[in-house]
Structure 1
Amino acid sequence: MNQLGNEGIKEWKNLGARLKTHETSNEHIVNMNAWIDLELRLANNKTIDKSVQERIDKEKEHWRNVLVRIIAIVKSLAKNNLAFCGNNEKIYQENNGNFLSLIEMITKFDPIMLEHVRRIQNSDIHNHYLGHRIQNELIQLLASEVKNTILKKIKEVKYFSVILDCTPDLSHQEQMSLILRCVDISTSPIRVEEYFLGFLKVDDTSGKRFFSELAKEIENLKLDINDIRGQGYDNGSNMKGKHQGVQKRLLELNPRALYTPCDCHNLTLVLFDVANSCVKGVSFFGVLQLKSTEESFRMERFLKEKLAKFDVKSETVFLRYPTNSKACRVYNMRTTKSGLDETINVVFNVLEDLPSYYEGEM
């Protein structure tokens, strides 16, 4: 048999007899018994490295439980739109962020995380999965899973609508938000849902560029642009334009993509016209505008002189901030609301004296 296993055999007519001789040999019987014995030991977990294997399995279970808890924390923070990191990434230190603070809290009740933190503090492990990189990676994995689930729902119903809107970020980079609207047949009763799929960076705000980014993203999502049955944008000419807008370019490819103007933007325009038609409303918000401009120190001195006649806190009447500051407008509205009656009294008295103020400036 050694010749058969190592060198081969040329006498094929005698191969059967050689195999029968090998099966009854002492060498074959001993090795066969050893193989059967090992198979039984592996099935019953009674091998010579049983204790080592048990430690490996225990360590695998420990890390699995640690990851389950870390993922649960990541999901909770992401769901509530809370920041993860603080000023440092060290456990049991001040200002180390919401993520590590929750880890510290869980260790008070959970022995698994307590053991994990003990290993970190004693430098028994170096890969602890609590740093910002693993946090970002888990966020990306969860986001990818959510996105795949959304796309699966959309592909099941086939047809969908697109909603686009653009806004600059803090770095003045234009970002276009992409929302897909479809019928969710996985719920009972069936509902129409809107799903936010992310921001698309655009270099310019032309209709051609917006449509190009939309078409590219639809292709990346492995959706068919011909399955779009609706499109909704704001009232900008680059979006709703009948000649060069996004809606026109999409209709050229897919005539069934019905365009619907954004109701929220239309409502804003209606409210703007309604407010302009009310003289008192225009006067009221005009004074709020004066509160937040720097027109400035002259107007501020004028208001202070008028304010001295009334028992009203100064911040309820004016506040010096840049004109386009949204925080200023919100603050002005809140402070005005807290002293509405006094503010109305001051506003109308100031309005009576405004002509004399401007005559003095001239």
Structure 2
Amino acid sequence: MANKCVKGKTFFGFIQRIYTIFANSTKRWEILKDNLKAWSLKSLCQTRWESRVESVKAIKMQLVDVREALLQAGEKDNDVAIASEATSLVEKELGDFEFLVSTVMWHEVLNHVNIVSKKLQSKDMHLDNAITDINKLIGYFKDYRETGFLKVIDEAKDIAIEMDIDPIFPQKRLIERRKRFDEISSREEVSFTPEENFIVNYFLYIVDQAISSPETRFEQFKEYEKVFGFLFPHNLKGIEDKDLKSSCHRLEKALEFQERSDTDVEELYTELKLFETLETNEFNNPIDVLKFLKELDYFPNASIAYRILLTIPVTVASAERSFSKLKLLKSYLRSTMSQERLSGLAMISIENEILESIDYEELLNQFAIKNAMRASQIVG
């Protein structure tokens, strides 16, 4: 969203400039720490988009304190260029009502995206819940597109009054392209007020991107829902017979390879109909259904269908974390590490929660017993 809009890139450029001024000097960082009590400033990261949320949050929640820190840095720093830049940021950016509105808007947009992103990356997230959360996020932004700007303006005005800034959009000089003498304009240019220009070319543009981006990136979820949607507990309950049979046929066709499929339509249909008649507790997700089917042990086709459903990844976050962990493990000093050792260290690091529950003394005793038996066999 930020990279597709000139105003968005400019805004985050200002955010990074504020951080850089303080991060490049221990003295200026001490000035920042003396003024900020809650959240420290964060740098933008190209590979970790969540850093944008943290960067905007730290400034939005402490605009008055950040301005004071910049003023002190401009007065006390011996570097003329840094002092001039700090003063310029205070007067032009932090003193601009449009910057305040942008800060409030981006904090609202990124915060909601981040909440859903965190939920999608959780270990207990399932496909049905992921589809529901994505649809809720898209619905929220559609409502925000209609009514969100007024809320943003009200909050920005409160901040502007606190900072003694005029709560109006400044009129900026328009730079017009010079026309040639024989050039005839085929259309009349529409002139906007500064506020209308902000709404049309910035606010609506960003929110439209927030709506279209999830719809485009999660199109595959819609295909999965068409194939596996009838297996979700809330959909399976009360489904009509003809719809259930057609869904079973659709699933068989999706799983078919070289005229063979993992499930049989008639048997899967019969098993699911029998499952509906059982007096069972309310299931919240497919994994609860699969555990129940495994305990009964006479629903083979349904068990296969649910196992395949549960192997569909919601995000690639776990895979990305694995690569990040490998990068930390195989450093320059470990460049000659064997593949077996690297895989073992990676597994230990990734599954550290399981490792903490292991009894090391029992493992050492078993290892010692096996070595003792091996030594006795060699001697014998």
Q: Do the structures match in fold with TM over 0.5? A: no
- The TM-score range, normalised by the shorter chain, is under 0.3
Higher relative contact order, chain-length normalized (CA < 8 Å, sep 6+): 2
Report which of the two has the higher share of strand: 1
Q: Which has more radius of gyration?
A: 1
Q: Give the TM-score, by structure 2 length.
A: 0.24
Report which of the two has the higher share of helix: 2
